[in-house]
Amino acid sequence: MNKKILTAKATLAALACTLCVNTYAQQYPEPEKMTPGMSEYWTPQPKVVTPGDLCTNSAPSDAIVLFDGKDLSAWESVKGGPAQWTVANGAFTVNKPTGDIQTKQKFESFQLHIEWQVPENITGKSQGRGNSGVFLQGMYEIQILDCYNNETYVNGQTGSVYKQTPPLANAMRKPGEWNVYDIIYTAPVFKEDGTYLYNPRVTVIHNGVVLQNNTAILGTTEYIGFPKVVKHGAGPIILQDHGDPSEPISFRNVWIRPL
């Protein structure tokens, strides 16, 4: 190729490039210089919620109160009929052997606050000492147990995802004192075939101490055997009547905020 042709080709290429740049510049002008306000958005504003009194753990203004110290009207027996646990002195107590109780209302994801007390005169050992539990969507048990100087298997301790994930700490108060659970739960999303697209997840805070940190729940919390994945929708909060012979535990100040 002679020199003239090469020069002509180079000139045409340069012209094409210039046109290309000009066209690009016309379609996509130089963006405006960023200001702080450009990366801020102002609507929608989060709803205003009046927080409860942290000294008394009272419910925030938008919570559904599941027990206000007076009656179990928000609950029913899992066996059917009214909840038959005992209400007295602003708390309710497991009434063995009437069985588990559950909320009448069903929930998806939520923030749950529940306080519980192991009686001062508690007896028994390991899993037979103040055993109860909070079942999320009626499927997944967060263990309640008297773990104050009471050794048991770690994935069955207070705050475990029962038989799955041990708690990160033991934050038990001694029998006779009130314990506080704050549980943040994200409901699972299922695939068509009934397996998890997204596992359920749970954060458990016990007396201000994180026991579960956005833990993936693997399936049902079986006493015998491994977790099962069972497709489900919205479900109740179930409180366990464990059936061991130790003295029954009590609950108070229960509220929930669907998320």
C-alpha distances (whole Å) from 70 to each of 76, 86, 135, 149, 218 are 15, 11, 23, 33, 36
Instruction: Give the residue nearest to Mg ion (CB).
Output: 133
E strands, the chain, are 64-67, 75-77, 86-88, 91-93, 101-103, 110-117, 132-136, 140-144, 178-186, 189-190, 196-198, 201-206, 209-216, 238-239, 250-258
* Residue choice 133, 188, 219, 236 for contact with Mg ion (CB under 5 A): 133
What is the closest distance, in whole angstroms, from the C-beta atom of residue 97 to Mg ion in the complex? 15
Q: Can you tell me the distance from the alpha carbon of 54 to that of 165, in angstroms, rounded to the nearest whole number?
A: 29
Q: Can you tell me the distance from the alpha carbon of 142 to that of 221, in angstroms, rounded to the nearest whole number?
A: 9
What is the closest distance, in whole angstroms, from the C-beta atom of residue 193 to Mg ion in the complex? 30
Tell me the window of 18-26, 108-116, 132-140, 174-182 that interacts with Mg ion (CB under 5 A).
132-140
Q: How many residues interact with Mg ion (rule CB under 5 A)?
A: 3
* Contact map string, positions 212 to 251, toward Mg ion, x by CB under 5 A: ----------------------------x-----------
- The kind and range of the H/E element at 98 are none
What is the closest distance, in whole angstroms, from the C-beta atom of residue 172 to Mg ion in the complex? 15
Told to check if 159 binds Mg ion by CB under 5 A, we report no
3 state SS of 161 = strand
63 versus 179: smaller Cβ distance to Mg ion = 179
* Residue choice 131, 152, 179, 246 for contact with Mg ion (CB under 5 A): 131
What is the closest distance, in whole angstroms, from the C-beta atom of residue 144 to Mg ion in the complex? 6
Q: What are phi and psi of 32, to 5 degrees?
A: -60, 145
59 versus 77: smaller Cβ distance to Mg ion = 77
- The kind and range of the H/E element at 146 are none
What is the closest distance, in whole angstroms, from the C-beta atom of residue 212 to Mg ion in the complex? 15
What is the closest distance, in whole angstroms, from the C-beta atom of residue 80 to Mg ion in the complex? 22
- In the complex, the residues that contact Mg ion under the rule CB under 5 A are 131, 133, 240
